[in-house]
Amino acid sequence: MGKMVVCGPEMAPLGAAIARELDEPLCQARLERFPDGELHVSLPERLTGRDVTMVQSLLAPAGERLMELNLLADACWRARAASLTLFLPYLAYARQDRCTRAGEALGGEVMAGLVSVAGFDRIVAVDLHSDASLGWFRAPLHHLSLGPELAEAVRSSLPASSVVVSPDLGGAKRAERVAKLLGRPLAIVHKTRGEHGVIVHRVLGDVRGQAPLVVDDLISTGGTIAAAADALRHAGCVPPLTVLATHALMVGNAVDRLRAAGVTRLVHSDSVPTPELPFPDVVVPLAPIAAAALREESPRS
């Protein structure tokens, strides 16, 4: 019976782009809200016998998006889809990837488990926060890392004297891969989180006189980037300051914080909607990358 891409209204632009790349029809679900706040999801088209790709990102508010995801998946199964693949551009709670004391919830694993109960045949996810998250899902997982595509987007414009920087020890492997792709040296900002925010201790590596390319998986409030930028300036880095991150969430006053930190350019994907920025940005589109991965592992490719 063929294939189809299904998404809700929030994911319509990305869903339509992926459908075009796959040359498959798009079915946009109807989401209605009852007076008491409950959601009602329905599909305007028949899915009988189709291999369906569902596009859903767990943006804020994550609980609402999770409910949408599970209702949409249930609607697909009740419409008699032959198979159901989830394309998950962003997983909320993924930074809660370890417990430091007894009685602490492991939010990332809980969220992945709640995604998994929808019964997907496979899941294609983008730049999950850590290696620990790769084992959380109860369906075959294809993990996409956008490091090569993001690095390529910035390659031609990097100054001759530049250094790739991880803003913390946890992201060192991610930054190291980008440094190898670009043939640039690597530095690491050693930080901890205190009660009042990020505390930077030192910069590991020689950065004096070099323009930094700070690499992270996501930007939330911008606190980590701002602290790293301050440490890099004190260590002798020079402008321009470029930031490379897959998920540009830009929560709260993140945009103002990055501007105040001296960020001159942001390279990111369209995994989440990003507000207008007061400095140049380069957007790496997810649709072609997602389509290539979905074709590779299609149930009936």
Domain boundaries, the chain: 3-145+287-296, 147-284
C-alpha span between 73 and 140 (Å, rounded)? 16
Per CATH, 3-145+287-296 and 147-284 having the same topology is answered yes
Let me know: does 268 contact 285? Beta carbons within 8 Å: no
Q: What is the CATH number of domain 3-145+287-296?
A: 3.40.50.2020
Let me know: does 31 contact 40? Beta carbons within 8 Å: yes
The three-state secondary structure class of 23 is: coil
C-alpha span between 96 and 300 (Å, rounded)? 35
pLDDT, residue 91, reads 96
What is the sign of the dihedral through the CA atoms of 219, 205, 176 and 193? negative
Which residue reads 């969430």 in tokens?
Answer: 249
Q: One-letter amino acid identity for 25?
A: P
* Claim: this prediction has a pTM higher than 0.85: yes
Q: Which among 24, 111, 18, 26 is positioned nearest to 60, based on CA atoms?
A: 111
Task: Please give the CATH topology (third level) of the domain spanning 147-284.
Answer: Rossmann fold (3.40.50)
Let me know: does 179 contact 164? Beta carbons within 8 Å: yes
C-alpha span between 62 and 114 (Å, rounded)? 12
Spans of the chain, pLDDT less than 50: 301
pLDDT, residue 301, reads 44
pLDDT, residue 87, reads 98
Q: How far is CA 65 from the centre of its chain?
A: 15
Q: Which pLDDT tens digit goes with each residue over 132-158?
A: 888 899 999 999 999 999 999 999 999
Which residue reads 């790496």 in tokens?
Answer: 284
pLDDT, residue 299, reads 55
pLDDT, residue 86, reads 98
Q: Which pLDDT tens digit goes with each residue over 234-290?
A: 999 999 999 999 999 999 999 999 999 999 999 999 999 888 899 999 999 999 999
Q: Which long-range contacts (CB under 8 A, 24 or more apart) does 264-268 make?
A: 264/239, 264/240, 265/157, 265/240, 265/241, 266/219, 266/242, 267/150, 267/153, 267/154, 267/242, 267/243, 268/150, 268/219, 268/244
What is the sign of the dihedral through the CA atoms of 129, 133, 137 and 143? positive
Structure tokens at 270: 């369209």
Q: One-letter amino acid identity for 257?
A: R
pLDDT, residue 176, reads 96
C-alpha span between 126 and 271 (Å, rounded)? 8
Residues contacting residue 61 through CB under 8 Å, at least 6 positions apart: none
pLDDT, residue 135, reads 87
